[in-house]
Amino acid sequence: MMSSILFCLLLISAAAFFYRNAKKIRRNIFIGKDFKISDHKAERWKTMLLVAVGQKKMITRPVSAAMHILVYVGFVLINIEVLEMFVDGIFGTHRAFKFLGGFYNFLIGFFEILALGVFIGVVVFWFRRNVLRLKRFTNPELKGFPFRDANIILVSEMILMTCLMLMNAADQSLQLRGDEHYHAAGSFPVSGIFVNALNGFSHASLIAMERTAWWVHIIGIFAFLNYLPYSKHLHILLAFPNTYYSNLKPKGEFNTLDSVTDVVAPNFNPAYQSKTDPNHPQKFGVKDVQDLTWKNLMDAYTCTECGRCTSACPQNMTGKKLSPRKIMMDTRDRMEEVGRNMDKNKGVFVDDGKSLLGDYISTEEIWACNTCNACVQECPVNIDPLAIIVELRRYLVMEQSQSPAALNTMFGNVENNGAPWQFAQSERANWVSEK
């Protein structure tokens, strides 16, 4: 009875704390501007199933894809056994699903094989990050907490899988000894290998081992759940809505501003009806996270910092300051800073003298981008760093009149000659007569 009460208290506390943090994350996402996405529902469901569920974009890098899919599938399916642990914790039972008989034996055996696969996968990931030190895991933006965060998750998963195996091994030993509480149930193809090593342990020691492993595993799950809101691994949850709300337009197609169209379109179509209110002029581009859309901010929270975008960025390859991953990390950091500001001020943001542009992302970074969309193409969960970069540029050009000299020359040519080149329209065909 005391064990069940303790479990229920832990469960309620973990769920309440997660709900509190989930509400903050939702609030932070909707700091951004409203952005209607309700079109092409069938295509959106298909995109989510292929990209988030089916891991379609992971396979471009076979080694990491194989390991990630193994960890992903294991993480999802092993939670079925965790569901049984929840039932046992609440009602004080042991292996509550054993009534499934032979199918239960198959499930436990299958879960053990998956757990071994998850353990191998996270060890490989840890080795690549800490021993091989692949270049995309050593960029400056990953110093400090981001580097520790990845290792915390990897080590936590190793511990969880080890506890699962240890729990099953002790459980099987007790079953073989005929303990009345540990009824014969389950198949243990992996943990069974270690049963003989436990023969020297007393009956009480085995029970203590099994119960300790059970509690460490379940508390680890609660801790993992509540660590997610502070971690890059929040993508475990947000990858699904983020891919559903993917930008389905062709890459390279930029959005146009209604306020600009309202000025230009009447020159070509006298019947054009304005879409914006001239008495309430809109701000062009983005200076801070409040100017971004909620989808941009969901992108930032969904980023898993894998670095595929940065490793594919030609500007980063050539030594430029730009890192698309840093753009997303900076956006998330600023969004959380704004959220903490609102928490301190009863839900209202009080100007702190900072902004995304300038304090987090420099003009050098955004002007380094050549808008090739390589980062967008590479992202495994369809994050769009380019959308943020373009809006930051738009603010500089249209609100601050700040742009590189080369662009100013082009702007002048477009204004005077109707084209990016310095030749007058009357002279454009002169090359035809040249010999």
Task: Report how far residue 114's alpha carbon sits from residue 75's, in angstroms, rounded to the nearest whole number.
Answer: 8
168 within 8 A of 186, measured Cβ to Cβ? yes
- Sequential DSSP letters for 251-280: TT-----HHHHHHHGGGT-TTPPPSS-TTS
Task: Report how far residue 307's alpha carbon sits from residue 142's, in angstroms, rounded to the nearest whole number.
Answer: 10
Beta-bridge mates of residue 33: 293
pLDDT digits (tens, 9 = 90+) for 364-397: 999 999 999 999 999 999 999 999 999 999 999 9
- Cβ-proximal residues to 235 (8 Å cutoff; 6+ apart), any chain: 242, 302, 303, 304, 381
Task: Report how far residue 392's alpha carbon sits from residue 326's, in angstroms, rounded to the nearest whole number.
Answer: 14
- Cβ-proximal residues to 31 (8 Å cutoff; 6+ apart), any chain: 289, 290, 294, 297, 335, 338, 339, 342, 349
pLDDT digits (tens, 9 = 90+) for 123-155: 999 999 999 998 889 899 999 999 999 999 999
pLDDT digits (tens, 9 = 90+) for 32-81: 999 888 899 999 999 999 999 998 998 888 888 888 888 988 888 888 88
pLDDT digits (tens, 9 = 90+) for 271-283: 888 888 877 777 8
pLDDT over 70 at 435, yes or no: no
